[in-house]
Amino acid sequence: MTELAALFSHQRPAPQGLLSRWKLYAGRYGALHAAARFVATKVPAIWPMVGPIVSAGYRRRWESGTGPRLLNLGGGGNLIDGALTVDIDPRADSYVDLTKPLPFAANSIDLIFFEEVLEHVEKPIGLALLRECRRVLKPGGTIRIATPDLDWLATEAPCDLVNDTFYGHDHRYIYSRAELANALELAGFSNSKWSTYRDPSARLGFLDSHADRFAHDPRLSQYVEAA
């Protein structure tokens, strides 16, 4: 196990029963945040109004901690112990709208994990988000991106899977490898290295989980790390 893998791991599923869940989330987030989070899972429309307020405290506490800072962008309910998962989804640790500038100081984040999110925003917004990632990462920091692979879809995928990838799941832009490499370069990243699912030689490959959680062929996605 690598040093980073020892620090960061996917959380186990929440326990059964309302009381057990309350104890878990109130202990993690505080009573107000936990209560608002629970209500928002039932009434999502309220979360954009209250989420930025009630979840900001948890984000500030995380930022004041020690050790490497791993930011899990757009992770929804896929929480990672030791990391900060941000999303508009109330199950995330903190409310952050990824279509807007990230609420983090420049050069303040060590690592960014960005799994199956980039395809959910239009291309110009995606480039702006990558530039924000570059802004907040410390020199020498690493970003790992997983996003559907247009090259594989065009040459190897079954027809139904191609159509589902393009028209399902609220996707907005599917990247070829060349286009993703170009976007990373335009955003200011260098040393892009293509990887594979759960690549043991990659710095953050141990965090990949989407193919397992959603039971799809890992080849559907492309995996790249950049500095």
Q: What is the pLDDT of residues 167-198, one digit of tens each?
A: 999 999 999 999 999 999 999 998 899 999 99
Tens of pLDDT, residues 151-169: 999 999 999 999 999 999 9
Mean pLDDT, residues 203-215 taken together: 96
pLDDT, residue 10, reads 86
Mean pLDDT, residues 78-102 taken together: 97
pLDDT band at 1 (very low <50, low <70, confident <90, very high): low
pLDDT band at 48 (very low <50, low <70, confident <90, very high): very high
pLDDT band at 19 (very low <50, low <70, confident <90, very high): very high
For residue 219, give the DSSP letter. G
Using the predicted structure, report yes or no on whether residue 216 has a pLDDT greater than 90. yes
Token representation of residue 2: 């690598």
pLDDT, residue 118, reads 98
Mean pLDDT, residues 54-63 taken together: 97
d(CA 11, CA 78): 8
d(CA 109, CA 63): 9
- What's at 43, amino acid-wise? V
Terminal CA-CA length for the chain: 22
Which residues, other chains included, contact 70 with Cβ-Cβ below 8 Å and sequence gap of 6+? Answer: 4, 7, 8, 80, 82, 83, 84, 109, 110, 111, 112, 113
Instruction: Work out whether strand 193-195 and strand 221-226 pair parallel, antiparallel, or are unpaired.
Output: antiparallel
What are the residue ranges spanned by the domains of the chain?
98-226
Mean pLDDT, residues 48-69 taken together: 96
Percent of the chain with pLDDT over 90: 93
d(CA 114, CA 70): 11
d(CA 175, CA 148): 7
pLDDT, residue 15, reads 85
SS3 content of the chain, % helix, strand, coil (to 5): 45, 20, 35
Biggest CA–CA distance in the chain, Å, is 51
DSSP letter string, 131-196: HHHHHHEEEEEEEEEEEEBHHHHHHTS-HHHHHHHHHSTT----B-HHHHHHHHHHHT----EEE-
Percent of the chain with pLDDT over 70: 100
Q: Which residue has the tokens 């948890």?
A: 58
Tens of pLDDT, residues 22-38: 999 999 999 999 999 99
For residue 11, give the DSSP letter. P
User: CATH classification of 98-226 is 3.40.50.150, yes or no?
Assistant: yes
Mean pLDDT, residues 109-134 taken together: 98
